[in-house]
Homo-oligomer: A and B are copies of this chain.
Amino acid sequence: MSGPRELLLQGNEAVVEAALAVGCNFYAGYPITPSTEVAEGMAAKLPALGGTFIQMEDEIASLGACLGASLAGAKVLTATSGPGFSLKQELIGYACIAEIPVVIVNVMRAGPSTGLPTSPAQGDVMQARWGTHGDHPIIVLTAASVREAFDLTVKAFNLAEKYRNPVILLLDEVVGHMREKVRLPAAEAVERIERIRPSMPPEWFAPYEETNTGVPPMAAFGDGYRHHVTGLTHDRMGFPTQKKTEILEGTDRLFKKITRGFREICLTEGHGLEDADAAIIAYGSVARSAREAMEVLRSQGKKVGLLKLQTLWPFPRAALEKFVGRVKSVLVCEMNRGQIYREVLRVARGRCEVRKLNRVDGELITPGEIAKAMRELV
């Protein structure tokens, strides 16, 4: 794991490589197609590295164990797919309110329910934002290639640790299972951000205090900073409160810490947007088809651009603002019935035409389909 390596890897395998490269030392999970390779990879590799792999009794227990381990100082990962992701929702909220870093990979298959377990979809995008009860802050990334699965896994860990928040990485089954030739960076070249540990004497430690980033330092259980962690709304000491001012102070901070980080959290990749008459918005494997469609159209003289989303939530509105007022139309391509489409509509506020192109039969949208739809728009 020292120098850069060239490998043929699945997206799921790249998640494993990245997690280990960024220092993940704890995995708890429960098998489910099409994510199981992540668990199997971690099971094969963690023990020799002295990290912990544990298969728990279900997805809820898996996330519970991850949260416990994170509180005890570990860098933690779990992976699942739709049904398991639904089960994890309650504890995702716990991680949000108690500000526990954790990376959750959801390799999306077609739902609802058991659905089409081996077919790709992007149907869990809105769920990733809104799946748990109550207002909560969340970061959701999504990758379009094996290398991006690697990079965004690294990013997911770094954001989770930096913002003390759960970060969800959505892969679709295509990216999770496809093998791609990929060059992985040398271990030293992988950025590693660690949560900030308290440096004050334990008596001064306030586990949920306001700081200039909004993110309080995080002590590990057993490191001398005895404190209380709860899923109840709590004060800056971590104890339950029902005082209006304390409630607001605590929950506002949860959102502000993310808002302050928008710039580094909201990742997108633009192609040919500068002079575009019409733009495609896509993410995950669909962005690959979109890219190919764009190149075909450009080669035919159509001024088409592509915005590839790598961050889905918080919704990277700033990236859209740059062109929605300028292009004639936008086509949002997704393997669902139009989820990010709604966000684009909201952000566009009538400034351009917004159309959608969707496929929900368990197949990747093809470049041809996108090119055809775009031809009607430019």
Contact = CB atoms under 8 A, between A and B. Distances in A.
Interface of A: 82-83, 85-87, 89-90, 93-94, 96-98, 108, 110-117, 119, 121, 123-124, 126-127, 129-136, 230-233, 242, 244, 247-248, 251, 255, 336-337, 339, 342, 345-346, 348-351, 360-363
Given A87-B89, A111-B135, 6 more contacts: A89-B131, A93-B111, A98-B113, A116-B232, A126-B130, A248-B361
Most buried by B among A127, A247, A349: A127
Contact of A114 (B123, B231, B363): B231
Contacts of A116: 232-233, 242, 247
Contacts of A127: 130-133
B337 A255 contact: yes
Contacts of A130: 126-127, 129-131
Contacts of A89: 86-87, 89, 131
A110 B361 CA distance: 38
22 contacts: A86-B131, A86-B132, A90-B113, A94-B114, A97-B111, A110-B233, A112-B135, A113-B134, A114-B230, A115-B134, A123-B134, A127-B130, A127-B133, A129-B130, A130-B131, A244-B361, A244-B363, A247-B360, A248-B361, A255-B337, A345-B346, A350-B351
A133 B124 CA distance: 5
Copies held by the complex: 2
A96 B336 CA distance: 16
Given A86-B90, A115-B233, A242 B131 contact: no
Contact of A112 (B97, B126, B345): B97
A82 to B, nearest CB: 3
Contacts of A93: 82-83, 86, 111-113
A87 B92 CA distance: 11
A360 B127 CA distance: 22
A271 B346 CA distance: 26
Q: Which secondary structure dominates chain A's binding surface? A: mixed
A117 to B, nearest CB: 8
A127 to B, nearest CB: 5
Contacts of A121: 134
A132 B112 contact: yes
Q: Which 6 A-B pairs have the closest CB atoms?
A: A111-B134, A82-B133, A93-B112, A113-B231, A350-B350, A349-B350
Most buried by B among A97, A123, A133, A351: A133
A365 to B, nearest CB: 13
Contacts of A132: 86, 111-113, 127, 131
A362 B351 CA distance: 37
A115 B231 contact: yes
A227 to B, nearest CB: 17
Given A113-B98, A113-B134, A345-B349, A247 B362 contact: yes
A133 B128 CA distance: 9
A361 B126 CA distance: 25
B112 A133 contact: yes
Given A94-B113, A134-B112, A248 B349 contact: no
Contacts of A96: 112-113
